[in-house]
Structure 1
Amino acid sequence: MALLDGNSWHGKIWTGRWSDGSGGHHDAVEPATGQVIAAVGRATPGDVADAARRASAAQKDWAATSFEQRAAVLRRAGALLEENADEIKGWLAREAGAIAPFGDFQVHTCAQECYEASALPGHPYGELLRTGEPRLSFARRLPVGVVGVIAPFNVPTILAVRAVAPALALGNAVLLKPDPRTAICGGAVFAALFEAAGVPEGVFQVLPGGADVGEALIVAPEVRVVAFTGSTRAGRAVGAIAGQHLKRAHLELGGNSALIVMPDVDVEKAAAVGAWGTFLNSGQICMATSRHLVHESIADAYAESLAARVEKLPVGDPYREQVALGPLIDAGQRDRVHDLVTTSVTAGAALLTGGTYDDLFYRPTVLGRVPQQAPAYQQEIFGPVAPVTPFGSADEVAALAAGSEYGLSLGILTDDVYAGLELAGRIPTGLVHINDQTVNDEAVAPFGGLGASGTGSRAGGPAANIEAFTETQWVTLRGSLPVYPF
């Protein structure tokens, strides 16, 4: 049976069962065709308040469940993801515009996130501490209680489950607010998945909605931690609201990631690497290669090779065709990308290929000799655009790469890998990939950015996840009452 079999979920939100949201519903639109593919329930701030109270009540029993049982639930969730991969990929293609290989990657990584999370309940959850008193002293990690997860449209599965799965595994209840544009593949799918895996009613709830729902999620008294993935602008607002309410906010935000191409590499091979980093998912990835910093001796040849490669890439409907690039998510995103391209050309960049669109299908675009003042150099693009900027020396490129407010991912292509590692040490960034492009993600690896890209590694690997979704409590035990001088 399919995860989303039948129509019981249409127009509903998930409160532990499919329920009417107070905000009614909205149409889920397929970006490739403009067709309505389903009705999606819409929550309101009142729904969030009710959900937070339910979650807080349900969480206590869930936290008391044995670690073996919670681990088994997460293992079942991983297996169900694999068993229902084709269905999930279909929704990703239709609702999010994901091509088949990117859908495969999302489902695989989501399953791995669940399998890795299934190991967390069995981890040691404390340590014995030395003490100068006649007592036992130790620190232990306890669930925070209720976790709010706010996920974006661009990679709606991974960017939700990498917080949802470990938070559940560690004994928390979770309220997930998916982007309304991807509330099926990024919300309804997980509601059905975790119900089938055995998560008790109320422990996991899905509340699609707008910014008002996100704010209500942050301020709900029962929610102690918020995991947000999205734009830097929205992340600043989330962090400010969380700070006002003394909540912990884990922020994974935008990027303007550089790929440094040194003069000792094979230009054709380097261009192939760079193309993947920029054009995967039509560039709608926070880690996307947004700046190609290429040594001046090979910059023009690299840009020409890049343009020749992407001119051949088919752009179209990923649900019905075998294509390399699907549609952008909506007209607003398309218009923003196009404005960055046209204003950058006006600023002096050379348009080598692309720069045109048909509906939401934007042709892969390469800009050569992009000046540093051009918008496509300075801003996160979030679209299928590769700006190429020459540099003359290692000192210059280190300054260029470090000169952005963002610090998410960095790629360095060079035959001298140790020189590449030394260069990377001069550039503040959360992720570094020597001889690879900037888009990499594994469930076992810490993930997070610096500066305008976020608040550091709060996802990936047991250490980051335990730190993110538990509280530390100091406990002492005495065998008898002490004698005090009062």
Structure 2
Amino acid sequence: MVLLDPTLWTGALFSGDWTAAQDTRVVTEPATGNELGQAGLAVVGNVAEAARRAAEAQRQWAATPFHERAAVLRAAGQLFEEHAAEIQEWLIREAGCVRAKAGFETHVAAQECYEAAALASQPLGEVLPSEKKRLSLARRVPSGVVGVIAPFNAPLILGIRSVAPALALGNAVIHKPDPRTAVCGGVVIARVLQEAGLPDGVFHLLPGGADVGAAIVEDPLVRVISFTGSTAAGRTVGQLGARHLKRVHLELGGNSALLVLDDADMERAVSAGAFGSFFHQGQICMTTGRHLVHSSIVGDYVEQLASKAQGLPVGDPYTDENVALGPIIDAAQRDKIHSLVRASVDAGARVAAGGTFDDLFYRPTVLDGGGAGAPAYASEVFGPVAPVVPFSSVDEAVAMAADSEYGLSLGILTGDVMRAMELAERIPTGIVHINDQTVDDEAVAPFGGVAASGTGSRFGGPTANIEAFTEVRWITMQGRIDPYP
């Protein structure tokens, strides 16, 4: 079976079956500019009908025995594994992933489904004490219809990590992937769920623009929004959700710091730092955006990081499986990256490596100095740029790391892990990796940031997922009706 047979999804939307869309969008390969197909594009008018059908289907899905819901999610995980090569090809060509990153996405997607399957049989309540002679319960019930809005950069993971647990817990889902990755971030999920046996109407695929996303947030039948994207867009979604009294889970941007202390293993620190900044061309919310390096070793660190960057091959990951960096998603994003690099040079930073591009292929870039005022240091670049700034004392390192509106991920490289734990306690972030770089994700772990990086851990692990996609209902039972005055 060809999972992604274009005759099924070309120019179509999904609501249990594939129906012709009113509009379409060319699926473009960023590495070459070639057309890969025509994806269906949703319009605002599609949202209300999808929400109505989802609300109807959700009631029966929620009443489905938990072991049957779990079986669908297990089958979905198996399909991700069985069709991994086919799915990875789309991730490489449509999203510009290198092969290792595409493999990581399919692996995590399968694990998200397996972990979601286990959610279906989790205890969903507790017995409460009561002043009266009765049984008092707090029970978790499905929220209803969940809207999932996911970005282009890790399109499969950032969609399925909300879709799978929401479905396992008895919800219906309307999923809006970024239209730039409508196939690998949307069609793939729809086809996997379709083949896994998910009942019609429980999952709806609506790739579209911001207007479609706004319509999903506003629709009265959609009770929970799970949004992953930029902080600017997240603020808009949060405000709109609050106006319509929706629960909104936001996983937003970051400008994560990597602290390299004076006792860190230099060779391994450079390797970790390069991965943290250059993985998927820096187009990851957890990307290492600030390298804070002790002044006694910063010169060697910059020299070795620049050498590493200069040796990394950049090119089309579909035709050359050995490239370390593929293309930036589009010209607008490339131009934003380059403008931040040039502005940082104007602010006093030195380009130690990179700083150039060929079409959508941006060279991995190391910026030496420039201080906190350099735009590439102060902003989320979302590109393969590693700004390096020195610190002289631990207190200075803590102050610099904490001096950001974001609070997503933190890496600390040192020979003294207890000292790292003490430092981590002083720097507000949702994620901390000691003796590792800032980019990682596992289906079993809670994931999320604080401050401008979002509303905390709303994905991953049973606790976060159950809280995200269920409501609490208080239930009491007593043997007879008490007399009232």
Q: Do these two structures clear the TM 0.5 threshold for a shared fold by scoring above it?
A: yes
For the residues of structure 2 that align with 1:206 and 1:93, how far apart are their CA atoms? 21
Give the match for residue 366 of structure 2: 366
CA distance in 2, matches of 1:291, 1:12: 42
User: Which residue does the alignment assign to 2:151?
Assistant: 152
What is the aligned partner in structure 2 of residue 311 from structure 1? 310
Matches within 5 A, 1:21-420: 21-22=21-22, 24-322=23-321, 323-420=323-420
1:132 aligned counterpart, secondary structure: coil
DSSP 3-state at the match of 1:281: helix
3-state SS, counterpart of residue 332 of structure 2: helix
Secondary structure of the residue aligned to 1:441 is coil
- For the residue of structure 1 that corresponds to 2:13, the secondary structure is strand
Query: Could you tell me which residue of structure 2 aligns to residue 466 of structure 1?
Result: 466
Q: CA deviation at 1:338?
A: 0.2
Measure, in 2, the Cα distance between the counterparts of 1:218 and 1:96.
26
Structure 2 Cα separation of the partners of residues 29 and 104 of structure 1: 21
How far residue 370 of structure 1 moved from its aligned partner, in angstroms, is 2.9
Q: Distance in 1 between matches of 2:273 and 2:370?
A: 16
Q: Secondary structure at the match of 2:7?
A: coil
Q: CA deviation at 1:12?
A: 0.8
Question: Contact conserved, 1:300 with 1:368, CA < 8 A, in 2?
Answer: no
Equivalent-residue separation in structure 2 for 1:446 and 1:475 (angstroms): 29
Amino acid at match of 1:349: A
Note if contact 2:58-2:172 (Cα within 8 Å) is conserved in structure 1: yes
- 1:371 Cα shift? 1.2
Aligned: 1:479 with 2:479: yes
Aligned counterparts of 2:406 and 2:181: Cα–Cα separation in 1:
26
Shift of 1:319: 1.0
3-state SS in 2 of match to 1:389:
strand
Secondary structure class of the residue paired with 1:215: helix
* Matched residue SS, 1:157: helix
- Give 1:108 deviation, angstroms: 0.4
Mapped partners of 1:20, 1:370: distance in 2: 53
- Offset from partner CA, 1:327-378 (integer Å, 9 cap, x none): 0000000000000000001100010110110100000100011311010110
Letter in 2 for 1:14: F
Instruction: Output the CA distance in 2 between the equivalents of 1:389 and 1:408.
Output: 19
Deviation (angstroms), 1:45: 1.1
Looking at structure 2, the residues matched to 199 and 370 of structure 1 have their Cα atoms a distance apart, in angstroms, of: 54
Describe the superposition over 1:255-274 as per-residue Cα deviations: whole angstroms up to 9, x where unpaired.
00000000011222210110
Map Cα deviations across residues 139-198 of structure 1 (whole Å, 9 max, x no partner): 100000000000000000000000000000000000000000000000001110000011
Question: How far off its partner does 1:26 sit?
Answer: 1.1
Mapped partners of 2:381, 2:267: distance in 1: 24
Which amino acid is the alignment partner of residue 226 of structure 1?
I
> After superposition, what is the alpha-carbon deviation per residue over 1:268-287, rounded to whole angstroms, capped at 9, x for unaligned?
22101100001000000000
**What residue in structure 1 maps to residue 8 of structure 2?**
8
Q: Deviations over 1:5-37 (max 9, x none)?
A: 241210111121111223x10101100000110
CA distance in 1, matches of 2:414, 2:277: 19
Deviation at 1:241, TM superposition (A): 0.1
Matched position secondary structure for 1:7: helix
Q: Which moved more, 1:127-136 or 1:280-289?
A: 127-136
Give the drift of 1:400: 0.4
Find runs of 4+ consecutive structure 1 residues off by over 2 angstroms: none
AA aligned to 1:411 is: G
CA distance in 2, matches of 1:253, 1:21: 30
- Check whether the contact 2:167–2:173 (CA below 8 A) recurs between aligned residues: yes
Question: What is the one-letter code of the residue matched to 2:278?
Answer: F
Q: Which amino acid aligns with 1:296?
A: S
Q: TM-score, normalised by structure 2?
A: 0.99
Query: What is the count of residue pairs matched by the alignment?
Result: 484
Other structure's SS at 1:187 match: helix
Q: Given residue 171 of structure 1, which amino acid in structure 2 is its aligned partner?
A: G
Note if contact 2:265-2:415 (Cα within 8 Å) is conserved in structure 1.
Answer: no
Q: Which amino acid aligns with 2:127?
A: L
Question: Which deviations, in whole Å up to 9, do the C-alpha atoms of 1:211-230 show, x marking residues without a partner?
Answer: 00000000111100000000
Provide the secondary structure at the position in 1 that maps to 2:326: coil
Name the SS for the 1:240 alignment partner: helix
Supply the AA of the counterpart residue of 2:346: T
- Alignment partners' CA distance in 1, 2:29 and 2:311: 25
Task: Tell me if the contact between 2:223 and 2:247 (Cα under 8 Å) persists in the aligned partners.
Answer: yes
Indicate conservation of the 8 Å contact 1:177/1:206, yes or no.
yes
Cα contact 1:328–1:334 (8 A) shared by 2: yes
Q: How far apart in 1 are the matches of 2:442 and 2:97?
A: 19
Unaligned runs of 5+ in 1: none
Matches of 1:278 and 1:86 in 2, distance apart?
Answer: 26
Q: Deviations over 1:297-340 (max 9, x none)?
A: 11111011001011111111111112100000000000000000
Give the unaligned 5+ runs of structure 2: none
Question: What is the rounded CA distance, in whole Å, between the counterparts of 2:475 and 2:271 in structure 1?
Answer: 56
